[in-house]
Structure 1
Amino acid sequence: MKPIHRIARTLPLLALLGAGAAQAEPTLYLGMNGGTMERVYADEVLPIFEKANNVKVVIVPGTSSDILAKVQASKDHPQIHVMFLDDGIMYRAISMGLCSKLEDSPQLADIPAKARIKDQAAAVTLGVTGLAYNTRLFQAKGWTAPTSWMDLADPRFKDKVVFQSLPSSTFGLHGFLMFNRIQGGNEGNVEPGFKAWPNTVGPNVLEYIASSAKISEMVQTDEAAVFPLTPTGVTTLQLKGIPVAYAQPKEGAVVLNVAECAIANNDQPALAQKLAAFLLSPEAQGPALEKGDQIPSNPKTPTTDKTRGQVEAMNKYLETAISIDWDQVNQLRPEWNARWSRSIER
């Protein structure tokens, strides 16, 4: 009976040890885009932080709208600790009170002021929305590369334009707002864009798509000739063998950064801030650039022969890029979305 007694007495100790081990490795949840970004962060970036801090970081993949909805639904007891959102949606998250103030850190100090959103978010990767085109189809047709947002209305491309839906896509919103500007409008007045679209770009649009994920197959079948996209998105398609190239519109591309914030009221505030600071560091952004073509927001991030040209090109695009007044856009966007669904995609 004695051996049984000894075993029984050790069980509470083993349970305590197990509990201690579990407490020693807390879990953080990071909301971000799926696909290439998710893979490169899971494989190349987050293991560095996990090893240094004895913590597990689990990615919650989804579009910016998906992640925002998840955080909003559980804002009193958030399940996500840090989130990546397109900059326009990050403005919405901040206005909803979903983000904590980013704590001062050497990494945050390295981020240029133009890559920060108020005092609650900062870009982790830089980007712009411009135009992309099907190089194989352009070569076969003898078409010259697009140079303007108004090329979306060129009769050459009848039934060959693929355009992302305004309610669900930042790319589509950017493309429409640039078209609207060319028509004489601005973020406070989209009447010129809505009025001109049905007789200019509209007849050229083969399909309005909910996200850009469908573009790769539509290029491969030569259904898609030209569409709004980012240089990083183009690079991702090129690496898959898809015949596309990026074209910088003469009117300027539109700034599209991916920003991060630490979620307000999360249950690991200190660790969440530590993760947020790490993700702004060259240590994190270097592998994201090298392995995933994510253009760094931290100017101290090293480049290689493989990546130097990408970073230099992005810096060039950003010199003439248009910044959107997101506070105004987010206030008016529900009305635009309803009108778009009713009059453009009807």
Structure 2
Amino acid sequence: MTLTLKHLAAALLIAAAGVSTHTHAQDAKTLYIGMNGGDMERSYTKYVFPAFEKIHGVKVVVVPGTSSDILAKVQASKEKPPVNVMFLDDGVMVRAVKMGLCSKLDDSPVLKDLYPAARMAGGMSAGVNVGMTGIAYNKKMFDEKKWAAPTSWMDLADPKFKGKVVFQSMPASTFGLHGFLMFNRIQGGKDNNVEPGFTKWASTIGPNVLEYIPSSAKLSEMVQTGEAAIFPLTPTAVATQKARGVPMEYAQPKEGSVLLMVAECVVANNSNPAMAQKLAEFLLTPQAQAAALEFGNQIPSNQKTTTANANANATVERFKGYMKTVITLDWDAINASRPEWNARWNKTVER
């Protein structure tokens, strides 16, 4: 049979329609999750998401970024958000919920197994992993100089660390914010009054700071080159760097460390809300959190999480000790004043 131009045109239209439908179906089978890149992205992509993907026949793709980056992307496109689920630091998550960017999590038995602090914002969000910001230090340098391990946030102001303190920028980093707020408390301030912290910074910690960094990505290099002696960080981040041979150690400050959770929420108006809810629920299960613990040093928020890995279980036991003195911040007060603090920090600290 001779194929006429009319038949050929019809065939091409059918083929094009088929390709379009297939592409749409493939898109529907992909979930996008906003989270930190680097170690977290690698561990979740390799060890956590595959089990979910196999069960539900979907692909989970990470859109990497800091909490502030992810929040900005979702806020800018809130009618058609670029991700289905997002991981944000707890303080940023409180803002996201208040901005109406999250859908309420489906009620699930797994929520009852979380630490109470991980059940957030009236069920709008939940902590996926828990941790704390304390002090980390360059173990090699401390050993060589025979310095005792730090014990207080005020060790950052010790004159022997002049030019050796690395501090994360408060506007850009939760670690920097935590460190500043603990310093502020020691100076007599509160989460709704940072005047003491700003007043005393320039005569205490400020002169010791070598560099204010936007994120902690540079720290491993700065420790290995001998530039950084002491800085705010979490036990989880320290454990990850130690596993790579970076000579870091964690110290729990006597004044307490600051509770730091990575929280998740299902993004409002996302393209696949039912499957997004399933992913959010899965990430709170002992199965998912055991993998994140064993392969990513992520401390589980689900209290029923166990692993066969002795080192991972030892990490959790150490964490429970740190939790005895952990400080919980007033995020409503902080978020109400954060823009003003950021502007003041940029003008008076990182000028």
Q: After the TM superposition, which residues 25-40 of structure 1 pair with which residues of structure 2 at under 5 Å, given as runs? A: 26-40=29-43
Alpha carbons of structure 1 residues 191 and 11: separation in structure 2 relative to 1, 3 Å:
closer
Q: Distance in 2 between matches of 1:166 and 1:126?
A: 21
Q: How many residues align?
A: 346
| CA-based RMSD | 2.0
Q: Which digits, 9 at most, give the CA deviation of each residue in 1:118-146, with x for residues without a partner?
A: 12110111110000000010011110000
2:111–2:119 CA contact under 8 A, matched in 1: no
For 2:105, the aligned partner's letter is L
Quote the offset at 1:79 in angstroms. Answer: 1.7
Q: Distance in 1 between matches of 2:290 and 2:69?
A: 27
Q: Distance in 2 between matches of 1:154 and 1:236?
A: 27
Quote the offset at 1:106 in angstroms. Answer: 2.1
Which residue is 1:134 aligned to?
Answer: 138
Which residue is 1:245 aligned to?
Answer: 249
Q: Distance in 2 between matches of 1:232 and 1:282?
A: 18
Which residue is 2:232 aligned to?
Answer: 228
Q: After the TM superposition, which residues 1-346 of structure 1 pair with which residues of structure 2 at under 5 Å, given as runs? A: 1=1, 12=14, 16=18, 19=21, 23=25, 26-118=29-121, 119-303=123-307, 304-346=309-351
TM-score, structure 1 length as denominator? 0.95
Identical-pair percentage: 62
Q: Distance in 1 between matches of 2:107 and 2:99?
A: 22
Q: Which digits, 9 at most, give the CA deviation of each residue in 1:126-183, with x for residues without a partner?
A: 1100000000100111100000001001111111110001110100100010001001
Q: Which digits, 9 at most, give the CA deviation of each residue in 1:97-134, with x for residues without a partner?
A: 10011110122222132112112110111110000000
Q: Distance in 1 between matches of 2:196 and 2:110?
A: 43
SS for the counterpart of 2:103 is coil
Q: Distance in 1 between matches of 2:243 and 2:274?
A: 38
Q: Distance in 1 between matches of 2:226 and 2:66?
A: 26
**Bigger shift: residues 75-84 or 299-308:** 299-308
Quote the offset at 1:27 in angstroms. Answer: 1.2
Q: Distance in 2 between matches of 1:10 and 1:226?
A: 65
For 2:320, the aligned partner's letter is N
Q: Which digits, 9 at most, give the CA deviation of each residue in 1:178-208, with x for residues without a partner?
A: 0010011101111111111111111111111
Runs of 4+ in 1 over 4 A off after TM superposition: 2-6, 8-18
Q: Distance in 1 between matches of 2:81 and 2:112?
A: 27
SS for the counterpart of 1:126 is strand
Quote the offset at 1:322 in angstroms. Answer: 0.2
Q: Distance in 2 between matches of 1:222 and 1:316?
A: 30
Q: Distance in 2 between matches of 1:19 and 1:197?
A: 60
Q: Distance in 2 between matches of 1:315 and 1:11?
A: 63
Quote the offset at 1:3 in angstroms. Answer: 9.0
Q: Which digits, 9 at most, give the CA deviation of each residue in 1:21-75, with x for residues without a partner?
A: 8527621100000001100111111111111111111110011111111101100
SS for the counterpart of 1:174 is helix
For 1:161, the aligned partner's letter is V
Q: Which digits, 9 at most, give the CA deviation of each residue in 1:194-228, with x for residues without a partner?
A: 11111111111111111111111111111110000
**Bigger shift: residues 217-226 or 298-307:** 298-307
2:235–2:250 CA contact under 8 A, matched in 1: yes
For 2:66, the aligned partner's letter is T
